[in-house]
Chains A and B, each alone.
Chain A
Amino acid sequence: MILGRFYRSDRGGAFLLAGLFVLAVVVPVLNLAVPESSPFHLSTYTVTLIGKYLCYALLALALDLIWGYCGILSLGHGAFFALGGYAMGMYLMRQIGDRGVYGNPDLPDFMVFLNWQELPWYWLGFDMFWFAMLMVVLVPGLLAFVFGWFSFRSRVTGVYLAIITQALTFALMLAFFRNEMGFGGNNGMTDFKDILGFDLQADGTRVALFLASVITLAVSYVICRFIINSKLGRVIVAIRDAESRTRFVGYQVERYKLWLFVFSAVLAGIAGALYVPQVGIINPGEFAPLNSIELVIWVAVGGRGMLYGAVLGALLVNYAKTYFTAAFPELWLFALGALFVLVTIFLPKGLVGLWKRKRDTEP
């Protein structure tokens, strides 16, 4: 009954969840149960690649929530993603223990290299998984709260907000490039060994991380859909369409925006935390403004304000990126650039919008 109602109210979402379910079943089976000699075997590399796309999809979902439904264009969402990733990276770094190049049981290699004597205070506690996970949620959330509280209270909107969020991620990138910050500087963190005692290179761990990504994406989708369909969601859409009117009706616009912004940042942080153990590295390049803008185009290509559009866009664009950068490395930036221009001019509602329009015109 509930499923049927869900299908009728959100057909795209139902397809998405079904697709994710299929992925969750088929991919582990093809990777673990099918022998390597079989043509149906899925290599661990591919599993990790799909897992990476799913992390991007979660990030796109987070952006679509605030851009598509509340009209807040953040050009700095990559910063929250990277902060979540760094929190996870710090946990994985502590797990290396004395297996590093210098064999120091307490200090990560880069700190030994910099002649540091003891662990800085902000690294304390990261050897515990629960603490690291708490930080994955808290750090991006707190930054988003402080930033959003200042911005929304003084009614910084539209283009101005876009530019200062870009400045935010740029400033963070410059900061994380500094060795003195104690986050590995230019090289970031890598050479991770294991997570919760499981070897990161093992197929089983990879598949488990993949499953975690699928489940997180599906749960996040359902939560986002729930928020959008609730009364809260209606107020948020009202803010997007007529901010002043909503304010005059009596809603505290700033609170709604701030709440949604923080939630979106937390989702982005979780995406980053899932991303790092799968790709095995985190460095300040993740803060680059270009990454955050690319993220916006994923959402725009898929179709904003539809949630599943963002997921679709992230998967498609990233698959295209993997394909192009391998086959025609010269062409990728041309293709990406053209995508930006063409999608904004000809596909304001993205690919999903195109499909919907077609369906609406043929009754």
Chain B
Amino acid sequence: MYSFRKHSVFFSLLILLGLCGFSLPAVADFDAAVQALNSKSFSKKADAIIALAETGDEKAPVVLQAMLDSRLYYRKSDRRVVIVEKIDGGFRLADAATAQPLGEAGRRAVKKIGINNKLRGLLRDTLARLSLTSKDPAQRLAAAKIMLGNVNAATKPVLAEALARETDADIREVLETAAAMSDLENDDRTVRLRAVRLLDGSLEPEVRNRLNRLLEIEADQEIAAAVQQAIKSIEFKLKFNGFIETVFFGLSLGSVLLLAAIGLAITFGVMGVINMAHGELIMLGAYTTYLVQLLMPNHIEWSILVAIPAAFMVSGLFGIAIERGVIRFLYGRPLETLLATFGVSLLLQQLVRTTVSAQNVTVENPAWLSGSLEINAALSLTYNRLYILLFCLLVFFALMLILKKTSLGLQVRAVSQNRAMARAMGIRSKWVDAMTFGLGSGIAGVAGVALSQLTNVGPNMGQAYIIDSFMVVVFGGVGNLWGALVGAMSLGVANKILEPWSGAVLAKILVLVFIILFIQKRPRGLFPQKGRNAEN
């Protein structure tokens, strides 16, 4: 055992020595190249940059990036090249060649290594070339995108080399586009024509700009026609993608509307109770999210998953309390119910204002909800909207399932269709009322969790949704969940399609006016209830 350890120490020493012996010249080259960056003339600096890139050292991109960002200085005392970081009253230094920290220094002790525009271009190209050979695919993709429209005689072989080596399909596509863009300048017209054909339909913004410029100078008739064709197809594709994006934004707005309205579709649609405090139940759900995040500050990632059932419980219990305390005295008097629940909404708002805060609170977004899904260069969908769209459909179908397949759902439908008969069959109608109202309110709370990820959370947030929610339910047809789905989605999409040419506020007004007119024409909504139930 002992001998082995002794041997191992010996061997490691040997290896270390060998390594040093082997790599010492490389380190020396690298060091020399770094120090050469501090040359007097710009042309010598350019040579040093090229030399630095050729060493293949993995610290080279760091140094070059620092130079590009004007963070590369030299120390006046020993002329060592350093990378600086600004701190109060001076700089923190690190050796550029070895990355060793060198302590702090005053402003006078160091001097910046100047660069000009030509060097800046060179640095960018070199950095792009270095990252094209990086092992990280994300870095390679980013480098490839920089190459778009920036290919010149010097970088062209690099591009060809990278293209030959690249296996990732996405990166290959970008590289091919870059190569085709550089081919647009080729003297051979067949090469140019082929390049134009290749660029046909590419969504990169640089490609369109380049083709537009080419159209102005191109003398060859055939190529000009091809360029025109390519631009046309690119513009069509862009329009199509823009349209898809608008529809997505519309669906996203629709999903928010649906989430807000779906609980109302139960309480108003199924029970016929006007609950003006519905918006405040949404607000309570959002505040529950806030409180859950306060309780588990180290697990923000999971807080949403905890908040969903918590908000359901909180809003549901408040809902049951409202039903038992206020609404049950007012069944059959819808206008009075409206006024009383409006009073409840004021009470809840003031309750939140006095217990939590009158100001808006910040609800944090977990990391998995931020960022966006990039479909192509012209279209990317943000994750939070995407998830909320999915979540809203999930809630919708879960509710559908509860109403259609569970015994509670059966009883709810029975009571809403014929209360007296349902009671005669042994259903406790009062208990069903409370449960139905609790269910609708609980869903409002869940909507609050989702909305807390999109908008500001404050005591007044509920009021913003109450009118919209009623509009959705009334538009879709009271007592019809499918109506609410179709209503919310079509209102959302209509709003977003109107927005570009009329502005957000006017779009909203137009949609409201449209609904007001629509109600005049079809007072019972898109999907009116049929049969005996529709009469009262």
Contact = CB atoms under 8 A, between A and B. Distances in A.
Interface of A: 73, 147, 150-151, 153-156, 158-160, 162-164, 166-168, 170-171, 174-175, 177-178, 289-290, 293, 296-297, 300, 330, 333-334, 336-341, 343-345, 348
Nearest to B335: A73
B330 interface: yes
A171 B340 contact: no
Interface string B499-536: 00000011011001101110111010000000000000
Contacts of B336: 344, 348
A159 B349 CA distance: 24
Given A337-B343, A340-B340, A174 B335 contact: no
B354 interface: yes
Contacts of A345: 326, 329-330, 340
Given A73-B335, A159-B334, A167 B343 contact: no
Interface of B: 274, 326, 329-330, 334-340, 342-347, 349-350, 353-354, 463, 467, 470-471, 474, 505-506, 508-509, 512-513, 515-517, 519-521, 523
A340 B346 contact: yes
A19 to B, nearest CB: 27
Nearest to A296: B339
Nearest to A171: B512
B231 to A, nearest CB: 35
Complex A-B, nearest 4 residue pairs according to Cβ-Cβ distance, in ascending order: A340-B343, A337-B346, A337-B347, A333-B350
Contacts of A170: 467, 512
B257 to A, nearest CB: 14
B343 A344 contact: yes
Contact of A175 (B339, B470, B509): B509
Most chain A CB atoms below 10 A, which of B346, B347, B349: B346
Contacts of B346: 333-334, 336-337, 340
Contacts of A155: 523
Given A163-B470, A167-B467, A334 B505 contact: no
Given A333-B347, A344-B339, 16 more contacts: A73-B338, A150-B520, A154-B523, A160-B523, A168-B516, A174-B508, A178-B506, A289-B467, A330-B353, A334-B346, A334-B347, A337-B345, A341-B326, A341-B343, A345-B329, A345-B330
B352 to A, nearest CB: 11
Nearest to B354: A330
A84 B470 CA distance: 28
Given A164-B516, A337-B346, A341-B343, A159 B335 contact: yes
A302 B516 CA distance: 31
A158 B344 contact: no
A160 B519 contact: yes
B520 A341 contact: no
Contacts of A344: 330, 336-337, 339-340, 343
Nearest to B274: A159
A337 B351 CA distance: 11
B335 A162 contact: yes
A244 to B, nearest CB: 11
A151 B520 contact: yes
10 contacts: A153-B520, A163-B467, A164-B474, A167-B512, A293-B339, A334-B347, A336-B343, A337-B350, A338-B347, A340-B346
A167 B471 contact: yes
B519 A156 contact: yes
Contacts of B467: 163, 166-167, 170, 289
A295 B204 CA distance: 57
Given A344-B343, A345-B340, A330 B350 contact: yes
A330 B339 CA distance: 21
Nearest to A333: B350
B498 to A, nearest CB: 14
Contacts of B349: 333
Nearest to B358: A330
B497 to A, nearest CB: 18
Nearest to A342: B343
A164 B339 CA distance: 16
A158 B340 CA distance: 16
Contacts of A158: 334-335
A171 B513 contact: yes
A160 B474 contact: yes
A162 B338 contact: yes
Nearest to A290: B463
A340 B343 CA distance: 5
B474 A150 contact: no
B515 A167 contact: yes
Nearest to B467: A170
Contacts of B345: 337
Contacts of A147: 516
B347 A297 contact: no
Contacts of B334: 158-159
Contacts of B471: 163, 167
Contacts of B342: 293, 340
A174 to B, nearest CB: 5
Most chain A CB atoms below 10 A, which of B343, B354, B517: B343
A339 B347 contact: no
